[in-house]
Amino acid sequence: MSKSNIIQLSEFDITQKIIESLSNVCTRSVLFSIKEESKDATQIAEELKISISTVYKTLSNLEDLALAEVDRYVISPEGKKIKLYRSVIGKVEIILDNLEPVLNLYPNTNPKTSP
């Protein structure tokens, strides 16, 4: 079986998508940044020294994979509604069992921020 067929077969496999996403250092950095406390995209961008567009794209991907969520909304001094994100997972294990990856996701045990 060619490599392209393997990629095509796993394209819709959520485990594969999560593993591929977590292999990206930017994705991991954003996820770790919101593990202990909820933050908005601007805070994350400033903390990690990456562009705001990269942060928004990464957060959208993490939300799609159910690895992050909007914890709450706050209103800025200018009256804008701002999303605060938090990690849904606290720990990830990836195990190769007979060359098939086994993905174990553990919930984030840090309490959600109160509104």
Dump pLDDT digits (tens) for 86-95. 999 999 998 8
Residue 6 inside a domain? The answer is: no
What was the pLDDT predicted at 113? 57
pTM score, whole prediction: 0.81
**Do the domain assignments include residue 5?**
no
Q: Has residue 54 got a pLDDT over 60?
A: yes
What letter represents residue 41's amino acid?
A
pLDDT attached to residue 15: 85
Domain count, the chain: 1
Helices (H), 11-110: 14-22, 25-33, 41-48, 52-64
In this predicted structure, the answer to whether residue 1 has a pLDDT above a threshold of 70 is no
Looking up residue 87, the CATH number of its domain turns out to be 1.10.10.10
Q: Is residue 27 part of a domain?
A: yes
Full domain range(s) for residue 92: 13-107
What is the model's pLDDT at position 23? Answer: 93
Position 31 in a domain: yes
Judged against a pLDDT cut of 50, whether residue 78 lies above it is answered with yes
